[in-house]
Chains A and B, each alone.
Chain A
Amino acid sequence: MTNLKYAALLAGALVLALPGQLPAQDGEAGVEPGIDAGVDAVPAAAGNEFRSIDEDVQSLKAEVLELNRDLFLLEEELLFPANSQVAFFLSVDVGTYFALDSVSLKIDGKEVANYLYTDREADALMRGGVQRLHMENLKVGDHELVAVFTGFGPHEREYRRGATVNLSKGLGAKYVELAITDRAAKQQPEFDVREWE
């Protein structure tokens, strides 16, 4: 019921609207405690001050995001020059009963990635997200890719599936998508590999 919260906050204003003191209490002890609404209003000037700071923050966010974009690209282009770059992506297109646990990747016999998924990551993949699993510099020519995933199906049944693919690396960047999919006739999750030059 988060939607109700702001209305509840608004409701607080009424208590503010009815502050005041009880009529003075007479008496020998001379005590005249008042009735305090107990909610202090933020001074009006605070709103302007907040907005001014907020506008600063908005502008800084924009600049830092743009700088991050530049740095992200700089890092990528420096570490993985376009003529040797190969990016491996992982996607999942299976029924909700399948829980992805891990993916490992070998290129030309050398293990380059071994990834264990958190629930949050697995969930993001199930919802259509695509993970950039690994980036690699590969020479022009043929390479062997071995990918293995593990996970759990219905009734905690453990899955372990692999795929071996021969990749041909040409000039220019290459993207490889490893899709875990159960669209095949067997209705069991399998790897489906797509390549882009």
Chain B
Amino acid sequence: MTLPRASSVLLWALLLTAAGNASADKPKTTTVVEDPHYGEVLFHFYQEDYFPAIVRLLAAKSRSRLPHHDAEAELLLGGLYLSYGHHLRAAEIFERLLADSVDPSVRDRTWFFLARIWQQRGYLDESFAALANIEDELPGSMEAERHLLRAQLLIDRGDHGRAIELLQGFRDRTEWASYARFNLGVALVKDGQTDAASRILDELGQLDPWTDELSALRDKANLALGYAYLQAGEARAAKRPLQRVRLNGPFSNKALLGVGWADAQRDDYGRALVPWMELRYRSLLDPAVQESMLAVPYAMAKLDSISQAADHYLDAVEAFEEENRRIDATIEALDSGRLLSGFLADNANATTGWHWRLEELPPGAESRYLYHLLASHEFQEGLKNFRDLDYLARNLERWRGSLAVFRNMLDTRVRAYEERLPRVTASLGRADLEQKVDRKLAFDSRLDSIERNRDSLALANEREFALWGEIAALEQVPALQAQIPEAEDLRRKVRLLKGVLQWELDREFKERLWRLRRDVRQTGEALVKTQRSRRRVDESMRKEPESFASFAERIESIDPQIRDLRARIDAAMDRQRGFLQSIAVGEMQAQKERLQAYSVQARFALAAIYDLAATTTTAEASR
């Protein structure tokens, strides 16, 4: 199958949509719609209603309604599958179509998008293979992204050496260079080359960012470097990168905590209290803030403010317990499925697409603990699947309702047919077409005979025929036979009259014969049409019950399919729900364990303070 040039444009439009850029950049395809059903598919596709678009395309293909768009239709189907997140089927089509028949640049871009989807869905080998299919340089930032994607796949496979090699060789003048450097740092750390990683992070931590994302990257590099120094006991070195982190960015809490620890490591607890006290006013959801609740009294104790330290520890214990109760409520909401259902509530009726993401959690105290799950591919892709399954389940329920309507409609049609049938049969019986055909044939032979015998009288009209009769009667009048001059005169007049009439009849004969033949021919044609209609009616009467039976069979065969699919969708939803719940509950449990550990530390510290106070009091008393 060869694809026209226009297909490349179409595929590019599809890929942009699949990449989630549709609203930003809406290319108008150069495809001229020749088949309305093809245009109908595009109508849904352009509205990002992928599911109905695919259904219409499959239906149109199965009824051969796309004769002018055969090749493009297959490509469009691949693109729609890709947009819908039906990536395995999309890949099958692309592997078949893209081998050697499309503009190479479009082919490369298609592989790139497939690689990206597969990486997000955890199909790492497939993603790797898709990247390997790319032959030439990709346009714009895609080329950089391709290298980073490949490096990430190598890191995921544990092949740090090749990832390092790839990232070290990466050259780019855009912000992608910074991301590549950062990821090189990741690969170096994972490869145990911490010194080299530190140099890269230090360099990134001082970059002059020109986008928000680069600012975040810079913060992240500084944070990672700062904590690496803290772990190595290099407190002085740690402070510099940590202080470079913005005060109000997503990493500021952790940076403030780290700055405090850097001071504490150098026994400067007074200075350490400054960033830690700042954290007290921030959200307790952040583990850095939770930890600061222990760090503050720890520093106070170090500064001999024992009483204040005890107060802060008590506050911490209370706050941790409160937080613990909230987490329990969230776990309960997760276990009951209530929280996940809340995730589906938004745009529940909208169709789904691969680039859908849950950007905001549903309102409610419980969901606030799940914020950073939103950044995880497993959670987002799992949620997408859960949402897709929910859509499929509701779709099948709607059809199940429609099946009852279909049955009623079919019953109504059968009843109407059965009521009409006796009337139609009776009416057809009365029509007696065969007799009418015989009559037409008799007319033909009669006209043949008239023509052969030139029987002009046979074509006389009523007046002429009457006149001819009168003349013939006159000829038979006995008085006219007399041999007298008066009779002779009358006979001459009668002959004249007859001659005139004969002349007129002869003159009109050809025209009359032609008219009659024309009328008989038209009658014959009408009879043929009627016979055809009759055959159709007969065929319809024969086929209609067959058609009803076929419809009934189709309806009845679908019912068990719906039931079977519903059961399997329910089972898949249970699995998907279980998977999401396990991620979310695992996350909650980790938070709980952290809080419990902090709580134990706080209680232990309080006990130590009370011990110390008791010991001091006893010593003073004994003095």
Q: Which residues of A contact B (CB under 8 A)?
A: 1-4, 6-15, 17-18, 20-23, 25, 27-40, 42-43, 46-47, 49-51, 53-58, 60-79, 87, 89, 91, 120-121, 123-132, 175, 177, 196
- Residue in B33, B62, B406, B587 whose CB lies within 8 Å of A40: B587
Contact in complex: B21, A2 (CB < 8 Å): yes
Instruction: Point out the residues of chain A lying under 8 angstroms from B55, CB to CB.
Output: 65, 68-69, 72
- Residue in A2, A39, A49 whose CB lies within 8 Å of B372: A39
Give bound CA distance, A94 to B298, whole Å: 73
Chain B residue at minimal CB-CB distance from A45:
B582
- Residue in B46, B190, B265, B396 whose CB lies within 8 Å of A124: B46
With contacts A12-B220, A31-B297 known, what are 5 further pairs, Cβ within 8 A?
A6-B148, A10-B186, A37-B227, A51-B122, A54-B122
Contact in complex: A29, B565 (CB < 8 Å): no
Instruction: Point out the residues of chain B lying under 8 angstroms from A71, CB to CB.
Output: 399, 402, 558
Contact in complex: A67, B228 (CB < 8 Å): no
- Residue in A6, A33, A121, A177 whose CB lies within 8 Å of B120: A6
Q: B459 at the A/B interface (Cβ < 8 Å)? A: no
Contact in complex: A129, B604 (CB < 8 Å): no
Contact in complex: A74, B33 (CB < 8 Å): no
Majority SS at the chain B contact face: helix
Give bound CA distance, A6 to B301, whole Å: 44
Known: A1-B213, A11-B182, A58-B87. A130 touches B392 (CB 8 A): no
- Residue in B148, B233, B378, B555 whose CB lies within 8 Å of A10: B148
Query: 22 A-B pairs, CB-CB below 8 angstroms?
Result: A3-B141, A6-B152, A11-B217, A14-B182, A14-B201, A15-B223, A15-B224, A17-B186, A17-B189, A18-B189, A18-B227, A34-B291, A38-B288, A56-B568, A62-B86, A67-B399, A67-B558, A68-B58, A89-B40, A123-B26, A127-B26, A128-B29
- Residue in A27, A51, A76 whose CB lies within 8 Å of B298: A27
Give bound CA distance, A131 to B388, whole Å: 25
Contact in complex: A61, B388 (CB < 8 Å): yes
Chain A residue at minimal CB-CB distance from B406:
A78
A3 vs chain B, min Cβ distance (A): 5
Contact in complex: B40, A13 (CB < 8 Å): no
Instruction: Point out the residues of chain B lying under 8 angstroms from A21, CB to CB.
Output: 231
Give bound CA distance, A75 to B121, whole Å: 35
* Contact count band on B: 35 or more
Q: B562 at the A/B interface (Cβ < 8 Å)? A: yes
Contact in complex: A75, B402 (CB < 8 Å): yes
Chain A residue at minimal CB-CB distance from B298:
A31
Give bound CA distance, A13 to B163, whole Å: 14
Known: A4-B175, A33-B295, A64-B395. A127 touches B605 (CB 8 A): no
Of B36, B378, B601, chain A has the most CB atoms within 10 Å of the CB of: B36
Contact in complex: B395, A78 (CB < 8 Å): no
Chain B residue at minimal CB-CB distance from A91:
B39
Of A38, A43, A71, A125, chain B has the most CB atoms within 10 Å of the CB of: A71
Give bound CA distance, A132 to B572, whole Å: 34
Instruction: Point out the residues of chain A lying under 8 angstroms from B175, CB to CB.
Output: 4
Give bound CA distance, A38 to B58, whole Å: 48
- Residue in B213, B294, B590, B602 whose CB lies within 8 Å of A4: B213
Known: A73-B59, A127-B42. A57 touches B302 (CB 8 A): no
Contact in complex: A42, B43 (CB < 8 Å): no
Contact in complex: A91, B257 (CB < 8 Å): no
Contact in complex: A31, B605 (CB < 8 Å): yes
Instruction: Point out the residues of chain B lying under 8 angstroms from A47, CB to CB.
Output: 122, 378
Q: B28 at the A/B interface (Cβ < 8 Å)? A: yes
Q: Which residues of B contact A (CB under 8 A)?
A: 19-21, 26, 28-29, 31, 33, 36, 38-40, 42-47, 51, 54-56, 58-59, 62-63, 84-89, 116, 119-123, 141-142, 145, 148-149, 152, 155, 175-176, 179, 182-183, 185-186, 189-190, 201, 211, 213, 216-217, 220-221, 223-224, 227-228, 230-231, 233, 254, 257-258, 261, 264-265, 286-288, 291, 294-295, 297-298, 301-302, 309, 372, 375-378, 381-382, 385, 388-389, 392, 395-396, 399, 402, 406, 409-410, 551, 554-555, 558, 561-562, 565, 568-569, 572, 575-576, 579, 582-583, 586-587, 590, 594, 598, 601-602, 604-605, 608-609, 612
Instruction: Point out the residues of chain B lying under 8 angstroms from A125, CB to CB.
Output: 43
Contact in complex: A131, B409 (CB < 8 Å): no
Contact in complex: A36, B287 (CB < 8 Å): yes
Of A30, A39, A89, chain B has the most CB atoms within 10 Å of the CB of: A30
Chain A residue at minimal CB-CB distance from B235:
A22
- Residue in B28, B228, B555, B565 whose CB lies within 8 Å of A64: B565
Contact in complex: A3, B46 (CB < 8 Å): no
Contact in complex: A35, B261 (CB < 8 Å): yes
Contact in complex: B122, A124 (CB < 8 Å): no
Instruction: Point out the residues of chain A lying under 8 angstroms from B233, CB to CB.
Output: 23
Give bound CA distance, A72 to B86, whole Å: 20
Instruction: Point out the residues of chain A lying under 8 angstroms from B38, CB to CB.
Output: 130
Chain B residue at minimal CB-CB distance from A120:
B47
Instruction: Point out the residues of chain B lying under 8 angstroms from A8, CB to CB.
Output: 179, 213, 216-217
- Residue in B119, B201, B598 whose CB lies within 8 Å of A6: B119
